[in-house]
């Protein structure tokens, strides 16, 4: 029964939402909105699980010499934001919470994102070699796309047309094909879940 | 009659009968101006129909254009559509359409609330009366058309989505048919996938090196299909690591994903017969934010130096950061995502990539269960049907036959 | 041959150093880069340009501060154009950490153009779950946002008088670094049919050209280059055009490295390639 009841819930709910999609009435819309609200509620209810996991893992790591420093920084930051964020005025400009957010979190996030610039260079250096026909096509296409950033006078105009063609025709053809496959795969997976064929997410007892 | 009387009568007759000609003279044009510019003729044959495929909150109003629209005096510039809830009540304007247009959709599905009353709300089953007025370029309104009545109707089925329903039913029928064939023992061929074939070798590498495996489920929620596919591969990987007694680390970005991932790994260890080796701290929550999650995972990669990295799920801009850091750490990397924008990064930076639906197909490949393989074959057959429809549709459109396009068009 | 072998196996830190210098040098010696405007950017500019005074446009600023370097220039260019044309602007953010950043941008640009909050523009604030929020706004902005970001009820704001939902705005421009554009396409343009354009990071742009062709989008501003083009069009040069210098130098360095790598590869082709990496 421990497996059958969840399977039944998944099957009935999935089938009901499938039927709901084709019914345009007010009560159908209400069911959709109501179920979406429940998704939000479940997500919020699950948040303490995540927070407990985070704190537990890092408190345990305080005992490990190599991990101690990073875990200590994490727990200190967590406590700082928790304490400063509980006040009603914490979201106002100038509050301690917003000061830490603006001057620490935002620059750090931008810094991590900026690593992409360096990693793109090293990945391109390693991967864009004409080892085969396909690799050569990749290389030439990448070079054409990259040249659009470099002002080369009349060559830029011609290059822009080539870029536009590449993005609008072969790129779109490939993307549409991949997306059709993804659409079919996603539909198949959803049907398998509703029919109870796909059960890995449920675990075992 | 005397001569003078005859002359006076003649002048009077001329004045009456010759008025049209005499009106052209400057003196008589002033008279015409004071009477005002001419009003256009009204539209006619107003027909009200229920708006289809809705919850009963809309009506479609059509009419025959005024004769002065594109003909006659040709002075119509727009039409005003007015509505009332009774034939004798006050008619208020609902909208304006330009000349040449003879259709208007009137809809309002915002139900009134105590704080937000909405007198224009069109409830299902409500009756409305419409009149159309033509307006000239001199802002002169015609007489109103005849009053027409319409009743809103709630529709129980959205016919515009019929192609979707047909596709889903067809697809499900194919799936069930191939599952039945597979269960009867029919051998189903699926082409080999390098990324899937490399999974066992990659796990073996980690065991030989004595290093852990890092499994990253990406930034999706537990409801994302790619994440669910990630759970399937995680189950397989976790089972192998349980058998080989290799550590698997699973940092996650969503609390619900955490719960499912922990259950998946625990079950895998149970099925491998090593439940005591399962360590729930190896599957842990990091953060909900994108780049802090990347920073944490990169830190784990550079400290733990895992032998193998799996990236299976939904990824965004962080995909290359993760893959390159894994490269720096010397890990063998197998990736799979349905995010088309990230596929080039994974192809360039990881050793094996599962592209889009190959990630979803992983469960079938890894389990080799007939039921799972049957679903794959159904996907292939439906893809073939789609290809045929596209080719036939392209030929039809070239020949200006639109029936195939109309057949597959979805009207939301 | 030894040098070529070294080039093949170059330590990645030299590449990082070169890229680092490529972005530092333009910061010290900046120069102007001539910009060629692409049609998909011009369409958005033309759309906003043909609107009349007091027309409404809707701007969704759906990115976190981590993407502000690439997307802030286009956000500012669009809002600058809207304010210069005396359009009414309704702004929302569906990104969790967007509100502070959006508040700063709108306040600053409003002050530059002498625009008054609540009269000339409205910042609705943030709500999670983009799909649900977009669907609700299509019914009435007041459903997900009974008050604006500052807590003022929408009904008491002059700028929100007489507008209820997307049917009352001329178009929507979504600026995003994530998948929010997909939500606007499906639940916004797909459900309510309003004109939709997007401003996205460069790496995402290849994904969305198909929607231009299908007519679901009327324009795309792709990355910093698109932002620079838009700034050039509106005549408010900003960070977008400044960053073009970095783009030019960095891209040139990467191209040089790629050429160098291929030259070394072909020269050492007879040797076994030990580098590996990639599935090609």
Cα gap B310→B362, rounded to integer Å: 13
For residues C279 and A132, the model is more confident at A132
CB contacts of B347 in chain C (<8 Å) are: 278-280
Q: In B112-190, which residue ranges form alpha helices assigned H by DSSP?
A: 162-183
Give CA–CA dist B288/C64, Å, rounded.
Answer: 13
Instruction: Determine the residue of chain A that is closest to C265 in CA distance.
Output: A129
A139·C262 Cβ contact <8 A: yes
Q: Quote the pLDDT of residue B181.
A: 85
The torsion angles phi and psi of B121, rounded to 5 degrees, stand at -60, 135
CB-based contact (8 Å) between A136 and chain C? no
Interchain proximity A197–B371, CB inside 8 Å: yes
Chain C residues whose CB is inside 8 A of the B291 CB are 66
Interface residue of A129, A145, A175, A180 to substitute, partner C, most C CBs within 10 Å: A129
Q: Among B94, B110, B118, which would you mutate to test the C interface (most chain C Cβ atoms within 10 Å of its Cβ)?
A: B110
Cβ within 8 Å, pair B255-A47? yes
- Which residue among B291, B340, B341 sits closest to C66, beta carbon to beta carbon? B291
Cα of A85 vs its chain's centroid, Å = 26
CB contact under 8 A, C279 and B290: no
Predicted confidence (pLDDT) per residue in A191-204, tens digit: 888 988 888 777 66
CA B205 to chain centre: 44
Other Cβ atoms closer than 10 A to B53: 16
Place of tokens 């609107």: C51
Residue B309: per-residue pLDDT: 97
Q: Give the chain B residue whose CA is nearest to the CA of C13.
A: B328
For tokens 């406590």, the residue is A79
Q: Residues 80 to 139 of C: which have CB under 8 A from any A CB?
A: 97, 99-100, 103, 128-129, 131-132, 135
CA distance C112 to chain B (A): 33
CA–CA separation, B148 and B269 (whole Å): 72
Please report, in tens digits, the pLDDT of each residue of chain B (412 residues total): 456 555 554 445 444 444 444 444 444 444 445 568 889 999 999 999 999 999 999 999 999 999 999 889 988 988 999 999 999 999 999 887 878 889 998 988 888 888 878 888 999 999 999 999 999 888 899 999 999 999 999 999 999 999 999 989 998 898 888 888 888 888 778 888 888 889 989 999 999 999 999 999 999 988 888 999 999 899 999 999 999 999 999 999 999 999 999 999 999 999 999 999 999 989 999 998 899 999 999 999 999 999 999 999 999 889 999 999 999 999 999 999 999 889 999 999 999 999 988 998 888 888 888 888 888 888 888 889 999 999 999 999 899 888 888 888 887 7
For chain C, the average pLDDT equals: 89
CB contact under 8 A, C66 and B351: no
Please give, one letter per residue, the 3-state secondary structure of A146-167.
HHCCCCCCHHHHHHHHHHHHHH
* Contact list, A43 vs chain B (CB under 8 Å): 221, 255-256
Q: Nearest Cβ partner of C203 from B317, B347, B412?
A: B317
φ and ψ at residue C145, rounded to 5 degrees: -130, 80
Contact B366, B199 (CB under 8 A): yes
Picking from A201, A202, A205 by the largest number of B CB atoms within 10 A of its own CB, the best residue to mutate is A201
Closest CA to C125 of C94, C155, C163, C82: C94
Mark residue C151 as left, alpha or beta (left: phi above 0; alpha: psi -120 to 50; beta: remaining). Answer: left
Mutate to test the interface with B, among A56, A58, A111, A119 (most CBs of B within 10 A): A119
pLDDT at residue A91 tops 80: no
Does the beta-carbon distance from C68 to A110 stay under 8 Å? yes
The answer, yes or no, to whether residue C11 has pLDDT greater than 60, is yes
> Does any CB of chain C come closer than 8 Å to the CB of residue A160?
yes
Task: Answer yes or no: do A118 and C257 touch at CB < 8 A.
Answer: no
Neighbours of chain C (3+ CB pairs under 8 A): A, B
Closest CA to C173 of C158, C161, C162, C188: C188
- Give yes or no for a contact between C264 and C8, defined as CB atoms under 8 angstroms apart: yes
Looking at residue B187, the DSSP 8-state letter turns out to be -
Q: What gap in Å lies between CA A32 and CA A24, rounded to an integer?
A: 11
pLDDT-derived band at A29, boundaries 50, 70, 90: confident
Q: Give first-to-last CA distance, chain B, whole Å.
A: 83
Shortest alpha-carbon distance between residue B248 and chain A (Å): 15
CB contact under 8 A, A33 and C68: no
For chain C, say whether B110 makes contact (Cβ under 8 Å).
yes
CB contact under 8 A, C279 and B340: no
Domain boundaries, chain C: 2-30+244-267, 39-237
CATH topology of domain B44-151: Immunoglobulin-like (2.60.40)
- Looking up tokens 């069930």 gives B176
Task: Tell me: pLDDT of C86 over 50.
Answer: yes
Structure tokens at B163: 């192609």
**Would you state the pLDDT for residue C190?**
85
Q: Region of B9 please: left (phi>0), alpha (psi -120 to 50) or beta.
A: alpha
Q: Mapping DSSP to helix (H, G, I), strand (E, B) and coil, where does residue C10 land?
A: coil
C-alpha to C-alpha distance for C246 and B145, rounded to whole angstroms: 66
Distance from CA of C97 to the nearest CA of B (A): 10
SS (H, E, C) C193-249: CCCEEEEECHHHHHHHHHHHHHCCCCEEEEHHHHHHHHHHHHCCCCHHHHHHHHHHH
**C-alpha torsion angle, residues C260, B348, A109, C61 (rounded to 10):** 110
DSSP string, A13-61: HHHHHHHHHT--SHHHHHHHHHHHHHHHHHHHHHHHHHHHHHHHHHHHH
**Does C64 contact B348 at a Cβ distance shorter than 8 Å?**
no
Which CATH architecture does the domain made up of C39-237 adopt? Answer: 3-Layer(aba) Sandwich (3.40)
Contact B279, B312 (CB under 8 A): no
Residue A6 CB neighbours (<10 A): 15
The answer for C 16-55 residues in CB contact with A (under 8 A) is 16, 18-20, 23, 33-36, 38-39
Handedness of CA A7, A13, A15, A17 (dihedral sign): negative
Contacts of C169 (CB under 8 A, 6+ apart): C56, C57, C58, C90, C163, C194
B2: left (phi over 0), alpha (psi -120 to 50) or beta: beta
What residues in B contact A203, CB-CB < 8 Å? 260, 263-264, 266-267
Cβ neighbours of A193 in B, within 8 Å: 228
A158 Cβ under 8 Å from any chain C Cβ: no
Which residue is closest to C225 within chain A, CA to CA?
A149
Question: Residues for chain A: how many in total?
Answer: 205
Residues of A in contact with C256 (CB under 8 A): none
Residue B351 is nearest to which of C139, C207, C279, comparing CB atoms? Answer: C279
pLDDT at position B308 is 96
- pLDDT at B118 (0 to 100): 83
- ∠ at Cα B58 (C214, B87), nearest 5°? 145
| Distance from the C1 Cα atom to the nearest Cα atom in chain B, whole angstroms | 26
Which residues are bridge partners to C92 per DSSP? C60
Of C12, C207, C280, the CB nearest to B341: C207
Q: Does B291 touch chain C (CB under 8 A)?
A: yes
- B341 vs chain A: nearest CA distance in angstroms? 9
The reply to whether the predicted model has a pTM over 0.90 is: no
Alpha-carbon distance of B125 to B130, in angstroms, equals 16
* pLDDT of the residue at B6: 59
Decide if C68 touches A, using CB distance below 8 A: yes
Interface B–C counts its CB contacts (< 8 A) at 39
Q: Are A182 and B356 inside 8 Å of each other by CB?
A: yes
Could you write out the DSSP letters of every residue in C128-178? S-HHHHHHHHHH-TTTT-SB-TTS-BGGG-GGGTT--SGGGSS-EEEEESS
B103 by DSSP, 3-state: which? strand
> Which tens digit of pLDDT belongs to each residue from C261-275?
999 888 887 655 544
Q: What confidence tens digit (pLDDT) does each residue in C142-188 have?
A: 888 999 999 999 999 999 998 988 989 999 999 999 889 999 998 89
Domain ranges of chain B: 44-151, 159-185+372-408, 194-368
Question: What confidence score (pLDDT) does residue B34 get?
Answer: 57
CB B277 within 8 A of CB B239: no
Q: Is B82 left (phi over 0), alpha (psi -120 to 50) or beta?
A: beta
Q: Is A111 on the interface with C (CB under 8 A)?
A: no
Residue A102 pLDDT exceeds 50: yes
Residue A201 C-alpha, separation from nearest chain B C-alpha, in angstroms: 6
Cβ <8 Å between A138 and C280: yes
Chain C CA closest to residue A103? C65
- The ipTM assigned to this model is 0.88
Q: What is the DSSP string of C27-75?
A: HHS------PPPHHHHHHHHHHHTPPTT-EEEEEEE--GGGHHHHHHHH
Chain C contact for A199, CB < 8 A?
no
* CATH class for the domain made up of B194-368: alpha beta
Say yes or no: B328 contacts chain C, CB-CB below 8 A: yes
Question: Residue C253 and residue A121: Cβ atoms within 8 Å?
Answer: yes
CB atoms within 10 A of CB C272: 6
- In this predicted structure, what is the pLDDT of residue B2? 56
The two beta strands, C172-176 and C121-126, are unpaired
């Amino acid at each position: 029964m421990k497996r059958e009841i969840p399977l039944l819930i998944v099957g009935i709910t999935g089938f009901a939402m499938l039927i709901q999609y084709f019914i345009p009435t007010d009560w159908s819309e209400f069911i959709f909105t109501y179920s979406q609200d429940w998704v939000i509620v479940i997500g919020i209810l699950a948040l303490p699980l995540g927070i407990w996991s985070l704190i537990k893992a890092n408190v345990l790591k305080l005992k490990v010499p190599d991990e101690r420093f990073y875990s200590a920084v994490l727990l200190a930051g967590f406590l700082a934001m928790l304490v400063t964020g509980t006040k009603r005025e914490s979201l106002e400009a100038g509050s301690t919470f917003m000061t830490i957010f603006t001057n620490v979190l935002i620059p750090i996030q931008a810094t991590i994102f900026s690593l992409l610039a360096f990693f793109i260079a090293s990945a391109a250096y390693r991967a864009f070699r004409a080892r085969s026909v396909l690799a050569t096509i990749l290389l030439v296409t990448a070079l054409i796309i990259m040249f659009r950033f470099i002002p080369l006078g009349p060559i830029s105009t011609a290059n822009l047309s080539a870029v536009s063609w590449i993005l609008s025709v072969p790129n779109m053809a490939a993307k549409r094909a991949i997306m059709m496959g993804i659409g079919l795969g996603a539909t198949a997976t959803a049907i398998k879940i509703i029919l109870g064929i796909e059960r890995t997410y449920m675990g075992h007892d | 009659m005397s001569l003078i009387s005859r002359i006076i009568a003649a002048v009077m007759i001329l004045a009456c009968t010759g008025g049209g000609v005499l009106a052209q003279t400057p003196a008589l044009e002033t008279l015409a101006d004071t009477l005002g510019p001419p009003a256009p003729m009204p539209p006619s044959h107003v027909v009200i129909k229920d708006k289809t495929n809705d919850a009963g909150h809309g009506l479609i109003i059509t009419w025959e254009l005024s004769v002065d629209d594109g003909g006659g005096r040709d002075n119509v510039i727009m039409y005003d559509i007015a509505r009332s809830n009774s034939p004798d009540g006050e008619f208020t304007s609902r909208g304006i359409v330009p000349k040449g247009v003879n259709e208007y959709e009137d809809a309002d599905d915002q139900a009134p609330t105590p704080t937000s009353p909405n007198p224009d709300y069109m409830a299902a089953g409500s009756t409305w009366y419409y009149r159309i007025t033509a307006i000239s370029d001199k802002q002169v309104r015609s007489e109103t058309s005849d009053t027409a009545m319409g009743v809103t109707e709630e529709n129980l089925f959205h016919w515009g989505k019929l192609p979707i329903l047909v596709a889903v039913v067809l697809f499900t029928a194919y799936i069930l048919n191939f599952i039945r064939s597979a269960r009867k023992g029919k051998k189903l061929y699926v082409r080999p996938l390098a990324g899937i074939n490399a999974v066992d070798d990659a796990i073996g590498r980690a065991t030989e090196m004595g290093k852990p495996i890092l499994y990253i489920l990406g930034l999706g929620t537990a409801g994302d299909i790619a994440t669910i596919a990630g759970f399937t591969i995680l189950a397989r990987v976790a089972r192998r690591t349980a058998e080989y007694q290799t550590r698997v680390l699973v940092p996650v970005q969503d609390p619900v994903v955490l719960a499912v991932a922990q259950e998946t790994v625990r079950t895998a260890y149970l099925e491998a017969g090593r439940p005591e080796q399962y360590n729930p701290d190896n599957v842990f929550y990091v953060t909900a934010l994108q780049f802090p999650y990347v920073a944490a995972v990169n830190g784990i990669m550079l400290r733990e130096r895992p032998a193998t990295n799996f990236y299976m799920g939904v990824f965004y801009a962080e995909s290359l950061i993760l893959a390159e850091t894994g490269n720096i750490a010397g890990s063998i990397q197998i990736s799979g995502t349905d995010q088309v924008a990230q596929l080039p990064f994974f192809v360039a930076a990881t050793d094996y990539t599962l592209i889009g639906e190959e990630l979803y197909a992983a469960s079938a490949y890894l389990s080799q269960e007939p039921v799972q393989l049957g679903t794959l074959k159904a996907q292939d057959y439906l893809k073939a049907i789609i290809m045929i429809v596209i080719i036939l549709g392209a030929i039809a459109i070239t020949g200006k036959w639109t029936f195939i396009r109309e057949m597959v068009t979805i009207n939301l | 041959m030894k040098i070529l072998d070294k080039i093949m196996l170059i330590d990645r830190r030299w590449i990082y150093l070169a890229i680092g210098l490529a972005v530092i040098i333009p910061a010290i010696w900046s120069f102007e880069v001539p910009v060629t405007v692409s049609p998909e950017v011009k369409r958005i500019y033309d759309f906003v340009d043909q609107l009349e005074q007091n027309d409404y446009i809707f701007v969704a600023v759906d990115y976190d501060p981590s993407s502000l370097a690439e997307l802030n220039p286009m956000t500012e260019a669009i809002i600058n154009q809207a304010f210069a044309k005396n359009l009414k602007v309704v702004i929302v953010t569906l990104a969790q950490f967007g509100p502070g950043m959006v508040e700063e941008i709108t306040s600053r640009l409003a002050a530059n153009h002498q625009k008054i909050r609540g009269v000339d523009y409205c910042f609705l604030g943030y709500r999670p779950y983009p799909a649900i929020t977009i669907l609700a706004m299509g019914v009435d902005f007041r459903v997900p946002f009974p008050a604006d970001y500052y807590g003022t009820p929408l009904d008491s704001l002059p700028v929100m008088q007489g507008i209820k939902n997307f049917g009352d705005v001329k178009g929507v421009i979504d600026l995003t670094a994530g998948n929010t554009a997909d939500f606007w396409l499906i639940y916004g343009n797909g459900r309510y049919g309003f004109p939709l354009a997007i401003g996205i990071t460069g790496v995402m742009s290849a994904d969305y050209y198909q929607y231009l062709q299908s007519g679901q989008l009327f324009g795309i501003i792709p990355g910093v280059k698109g932002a620079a083009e838009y700034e050039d069009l509106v005549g408010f040069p900003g960070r977008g055009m400044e960053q073009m210098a970095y783009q030019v130098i960095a891209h040139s360095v990467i191209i040089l490295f790629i050429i160098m790598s291929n030259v070394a590869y072909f020269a050492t082709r007879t040797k076994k390639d030990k580098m590996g990496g990639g599935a090609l």
